[in-house]
Amino acid sequence: MVSAELAPLAKTGGLADAVAGLSAALAAKDHDVRVLIPDYTAPPSGRPGAAAIEGGASVSPAESTPVPVYLIASPAIGSGGAIYLGDERDAARFWAFSRAAVAAAAALGLTPDIVHCHDWHAALVPALAASRPPLASAGTVLTLHNIGFQGAFPRSVLPDDAAAFLASLDDEATGSRDWVNFLETGIRRASAVTTVSPTYAREIATPELGMGLDAVLRARGDDFVGILNGVDYRLWSPESDPFITPRFRRGDADGKRRVKRAVMTELGLADDAPLIGAVSRLFEQKGLDLLVDALPTLLERTRARFAVLGSGNPDLEAALSRAAKTWPERIAFRRGYDEGLAHRIIAGSDFLVVPSRYEPCGLTQLYALRYGTVPIVRKTGGLADTVTHYDPASGRGTGCVFEHADVTGLIWGVTTALEWYESPADWERLCRNAEGLDFSWQRQCEPYEALYRRVIERRRHRSPSA
């Protein structure tokens, strides 16, 4: 696995959880999995005991991780802890990481059957590996966790060696004359390409949601597939969650109520009303601006309280802070990144709202389900694949699914869900349905195993002498 993020060592979002969960599940099935990630905190002189690789880079094993992890340090990646700088400097940083990761794999004597690369940060690895024995004989898989992040840069910002390498690839694969696109290069070069839900796979193969890469994806035909992310239930279930007190058994409404009370006290809210949580990066994609705009109506029409944790867009952060100041008894907003509070909000809330404009898979709704926290989600991508709209007549369904990414759609979703809350029989049924689902990585890693096998078989077929 080659990734910019890996929970818990380096995490900003779902990528970190997905790579960690998939790796651990594969390892538990006796696959020999190694994960290579950048060393964002290495001192400029390198870590003591690190093995030098070319270009001033070095590699050192991380300590006490469930799956072996190699930290790739390089002066070009920089240190200080930032995972992304969010500007053109990231081109040189992740180029350096990808190059060093390939060199490190060779130096470590790794001879994988499959090199599985994640997102644009590692998307040049298939091309780099192709010219680098012993990696050259490995199949490559590229997983797109979010096609909104492509690593598209003007050629002029690339270091010379990166510019030369990309120019040496066939011209189609290297973007336009003036621009390069790391993700596009990977999509063209990997043996197979995946994304993190079947619906998102269909969506990004269209011009509406493909963000310019739909044609390249369609050209991959059957070699582009959607495989749903899984959940590591050791971290995300009421029985074993390391961040909640008390832990409780699935279906134990009293236990859940105690966690709800605790988190509401922590946030300064009274616990005599339904609680709607949101844990999210605060960017346009996630649609939390819709929640801000819907709040006046929702506060007037319902008795719900809101607990929001997130950071991102400063305007959105400010709007949420203002809302919390205006209605302190109804809304709590915590700005920042807080793993523990994320668990407590997801575990303790009655609902979790995920109003995304697009959503490759979405993990928080999967986590919520396990705690009997009913997801209110927009019908898009992985949200549409993992939550089914509750139907009081049949008693089937696991959450509330609204169609339109606008304020009206969200208000409809929240008020509909709250009606179920007020009907004890429906509520009981809905919570049990939600808790009963199984999105464990043990299951969700099987389609990856099948894909790996297909890629390996095909390569054997093509080069019978290898």
Which stretches of the chain bind ligand ADP, using CB under 6 A?
A: 13-15, 17, 146, 279-281, 309-311, 337-339, 342, 361-364
Least CB distance from residue 236 to ligand ADP, whole Å?
A: 8
Least CB distance from residue 119 to ligand ADP, whole Å?
A: 10
Q: Is there a contact between 280 and 306 (Cβ–Cβ < 8 Å)?
A: no
The C-alpha atoms of residue 127 and residue 59 are separated, in whole angstroms, by: 21
Least CB distance from residue 172 to ligand ADP, whole Å?
A: 30
The C-alpha atoms of residue 430 and residue 309 are separated, in whole angstroms, by: 25
Nearer to ligand ADP, 223 or 232 (CB): 232
Nearer to ligand ADP, 344 or 429 (CB): 344
Least CB distance from residue 425 to ligand ADP, whole Å?
A: 31
The CA distances from residue 59 to 40, 51, 56, 105, 129, in Å, are 12, 5, 10, 9, 17
Question: Apex CA 19: angle with CA 15 and CA 25, to 5°?
Answer: 145
The C-alpha atoms of residue 392 and residue 96 are separated, in whole angstroms, by: 55
Nearer to ligand ADP, 277 or 397 (CB): 277
Least CB distance from residue 78 to ligand ADP, whole Å?
A: 23
Pairing of strands 114-118, 69-73: unpaired
Pairing of strands 400-402, 374-378: parallel
Least CB distance from residue 217 to ligand ADP, whole Å?
A: 19
Least CB distance from residue 197 to ligand ADP, whole Å?
A: 10
Q: Is there a contact between 16 and 5 (Cβ–Cβ < 8 Å)?
A: yes
Q: Is there a contact between 371 and 395 (Cβ–Cβ < 8 Å)?
A: no
Nearer to ligand ADP, 146 or 199 (CB): 146
- Show the tokens assigned to 1: 């696995």
Identify the helix (H) or strand (E) that includes residue 353: strand 351-354
Q: Residue 151, by phi and psi: left (phi above 0), alpha (psi -120 to 50) or beta?
A: left
Q: Is there a contact between 248 and 259 (Cβ–Cβ < 8 Å)?
A: yes
Nearer to ligand ADP, 46 or 360 (CB): 360
The C-alpha atoms of residue 286 and residue 281 are separated, in whole angstroms, by: 7
Least CB distance from residue 343 to ligand ADP, whole Å?
A: 8
Nearer to ligand ADP, 147 or 411 (CB): 147
The residue of the chain with the least Cβ separation from ligand ADP equals: 14
Nearer to ligand ADP, 106 or 291 (CB): 291
Nearer to ligand ADP, 284 or 428 (CB): 284
Burial (CB count within 10 angstroms: exposed 0-12, middle 13-18, buried 19+), residue 356: buried
Nearer to ligand ADP, 74 or 349 (CB): 349
Least CB distance from residue 466 to ligand ADP, whole Å?
A: 37
Nearer to ligand ADP, 124 or 363 (CB): 363
The residue behind tokens 């002066």 is 75
Nearer to ligand ADP, 60 or 380 (CB): 380
DSSP assignment string, 118-177: ETGGGTTHHHHHHTSTTGGGSEEEEEES-TT---EEEGGGS-HHHHHHHHHS-GGGG-SS
Is residue 246 reached through a cis peptide bond, with omega within 30 degrees of 0 on the bond before it?
yes
Least CB distance from residue 301 to ligand ADP, whole Å?
A: 28
Least CB distance from residue 365 to ligand ADP, whole Å?
A: 7
